[in-house]
Amino acid sequence: MANVTKWVIDPMHSEVQFKVKHLVISTVTGFFKSFEGTVETENEDFSDAKINFSLDINSIDTTQTHRDEHLKGPEFFDAEQYPHIKFASTSFTKTGDDEYELKGDLTVKDVTKPVKLDVEFGGSATDFYGNTKAGFEITGKVNRKEFGLTWDGVTEAGAIVVGEDIKLQINIQLAKQA
């Protein structure tokens, strides 16, 4: 059997950011501050890696407490009933020198759908303590309505309050496990 290397996300050197249009004219940026994930590889170049990832809804931070509470509430994520967003890869394919295509199943609330994300490998390095680290930037777009996040506010003038497309920008540093 092939040698499997396990990596875990180093949360101190990783961030999960999302952007969504507000009133069509501006963009709201938010973060999930608490998340975890593992990557299992059999190949040095990470191709065919198996990736599992989980975000804690209660860690959402858009810098506005009222908005965060609304997002955690039943009209959006319903964190009480569904505390995590989960992702499990179905394929991780090398498409260029440092580029990959990541496909997997994203579960938001009780809806699981396939998504496709772009990944750029930032390289690997050894830190001060002799740990091997690898960095990745993951970008993509998901439509919130496909995952049951259907809340729609419309202003008196008819402008949509929250856009449907959520842009994801995730920077991950992995720590190789002995």
147: helix, strand or coil:
helix
The pLDDT value recorded for residue 163 is 73
Handedness of CA 72, 155, 168, 90 (dihedral sign): positive
State how far Cα 62 lies from the chain centre. 15
Residues making up the chain, counted from first to last: 178
- Cα gap 149→164, rounded to integer Å: 9
The pLDDT value recorded for residue 29 is 86
- Cα gap 82→109, rounded to integer Å: 5
The secondary structure of residue 132, as a DSSP letter, is E
- Cα gap 31→36, rounded to integer Å: 14
The pLDDT value recorded for residue 1 is 54
The pLDDT value recorded for residue 149 is 78
The pLDDT value recorded for residue 160 is 57
State how far Cα 86 lies from the chain centre. 9
pLDDT in tens for each of the 178 residues of the chain?
568 999 999 988 999 998 887 766 678 888 999 999 999 999 888 999 999 999 999 999 998 898 899 889 988 889 999 999 999 999 999 999 999 999 999 999 999 999 999 999 999 999 888 989 999 999 999 988 888 777 666 656 655 566 788 899 999 999 999 8
The pLDDT value recorded for residue 27 is 81
According to DSSP H, which parts of 6-99 are helical? 65-72
- Cα gap 2→50, rounded to integer Å: 14
- Report, at the CATH architecture level, how domain 5-176 is classified: Beta Barrel (2.40)
State how far Cα 141 lies from the chain centre. 10
- Enumerate the β-bridge partners of residue 160: 154
